[in-house]
Amino acid sequence: MSDNLSQSRYNARGVSSSKSEVHKVVDKMDKGIFPGAFCKVTSDLLTNDDKLCNVIHSDGAGTKSILAYLWYRETGDAKVFHGIAQDSIVMNLDDLACVGIWDQVVLSSTVNRNARNFPGEALAALIEGTELFLQNLRDHGIEIKSGGGETADVGDLTGTVAVDSCAVAVCPRDGIIDNARIRPGLSIVGLSSCGQASYENSANSGIGSNGLTSARHELLCSHYRDQYPETFDPRTEPEYLYCGPHRMTDALPDSSFSVGEALLSPTRTYLPVVKALVSELKNGILGLVHCSGGGQTKCLRFGTGVHHVKDNLFEIPPLFREIQKVSGTSDVEMHQVYNMGHRFEVYCLPELDRQVVEVARQFGIEAQVIGRTEKSGKTEGGNHLTITREDLTLQYG
């Protein structure tokens, strides 16, 4: 499938993989007191202490909540929403980790639901899942407190449920990790999105919470289009709706997961690993990137005059291979939408890369040097990215 045809499938579902129209606006706005950081950091407006700063971050589980809804409707298992609560929380916390924040965070969640389709037991499971996940983090030395939240019955806005969170922290300015320090001459260490970390209760497929609109429709079959019209925009052409070969209970090829289990695998947090890394190697870590929206191209937004070279990526996990197989999505688009095997990157001094790998492995997370940074090869000095896999070469930026 050509890149243009692949992109047209995203557009046909009301999705933008690049969010270019958003960046055109946001990139012109005030970038805070650390313009190159992963998250916007502002001066401390709560106590007006010039040694402190504030960070507030909002994100959510996205359309992954629809997959949980389908599972719930077909199995009656409301506990599937425990994972959706985790998805929403992690998409905030792991962004905060990229600026050096993982403790003393206050979290609030918002649930927008259609009460006809999303009843009280499902809502209770979401709330329970939030508390269980926050307690698990506290058990592993990550202090996150719940600040409550809001539940809104908005049946005119959603046919199912939308789950979002907001995280707030006050922290010392001298503790901020500033990705503006990403420069040529660094090692890039990737932390695998698959397997089972020591602080996880089950193995992870690696999916995270990005690209689920496409993954859902490309993998799942017309049964879901026929039975659950509340889970899609009726203006979308039928050829783009649940056009795949699978039911959620089908076995995922080359995997121990079913298709549904793989798609619903809760988004892994890297907070315990990052906390240990920065504690041990702070001065040698120049940047951290959460490969969420933008997948393997997220790094392009950080550093100045940098050629990001990724030539030793992890083997592509089975779920991403199956998505590409059944959809015909191009390699260029796959690496721009999905994490393709690692969802967190550490930019460090080359002499420390083996120590970064070792710290991650102590938590049961596979890690490896997946690339390096070089001086930009562009005439204007802009950032760009080269990904190589055997005989495949992908260029971005």
Helix (H) or strand (E) holding 17: none
pLDDT at 5: 46
Q: Is residue 104 part of a domain?
A: yes
d(CA 209, CA 93): 13
CA angle 191, 204, 295 (to 5 degrees): 50
- Please, which pLDDT band fits residue 15 given cuts at 50, 70 and 90? confident
Strand partners, 195: 204
Burial (CB < 10 A; 0-12, 13-18, 19+), residue 56, is middle
pLDDT at 1: 42
pLDDT at 238: 93
Mean pLDDT over the full length of the chain: 94
The β-bridge relationship of strands 144-153 and 105-113 is parallel
Helix (H) or strand (E) holding 255: none
CB atoms within 10 A of CB 331: 17
* pLDDT tops 80 at residue 21: no
Helix (H) or strand (E) holding 161: strand 161-172
Picking from 281, 328, 341, 297, the residue whose alpha carbon sits closest to that of residue 18 is 297
Query: What tokens does 242 get?
Result: 């649940």
Share of the chain above pLDDT 70, in %: 94
pLDDT in tens, 93-140: 999 999 999 999 999 999 999 999 999 999 999 999 999 999 999 999
Q: Is residue 53 part of a domain?
A: yes
Helices 80-97 & 271-281, crossing angle to 10 degrees? 20
Q: Is residue 216 part of a domain?
A: no
Q: Return the CATH number at 169.
A: 3.30.1330.10
d(CA 225, CA 150): 30
Residue whose entry in the numeric block shows the structure tokens 């809104």: 152
d(CA 322, CA 336): 16
* pLDDT tops 60 at residue 62: yes
Residue 147, CB-side half-sphere exposure with 13 Å CA sphere = 14
User: What is the residue range of 41's domain?
Assistant: 31-174
pLDDT in tens, 146-184: 999 999 999 999 999 999 999 999 999 999 999 999 999
- Beta carbons within 8 Å of 84's beta carbon, 6+ residues apart: 61, 64, 65, 68, 126, 129, 163
pLDDT at 47: 86
Q: Is residue 117 part of a domain?
A: yes
Question: Where is average pLDDT lowest: 8-22, 28-42, 135-149, 297-311?
Answer: 8-22
Q: Is residue 328 part of a domain?
A: no
Query: What tokens does 92 get?
Result: 């905030």
Phi and psi, residue 348, nearest 5°: -135, 170
Do the Cβ atoms of 162 and 154 come closer than 8 Å?
A: no
Q: Is residue 143 part of a domain?
A: yes
Q: Is residue 66 part of a domain?
A: yes
Residue whose entry in the numeric block shows the structure tokens 């996940």: 133
pLDDT at 10: 67
d(CA 317, CA 312): 15
Picking from 101, 113, 180, 119, the residue whose alpha carbon sits closest to that of residue 149 is 113
Q: Is residue 73 part of a domain?
A: yes
pLDDT in tens, 233-248: 999 999 999 999 999 9
Number of domains composing the chain: 1
pTM, two decimals, is 0.93
* pLDDT tops 90 at residue 68: yes
* pLDDT tops 90 at residue 2: no
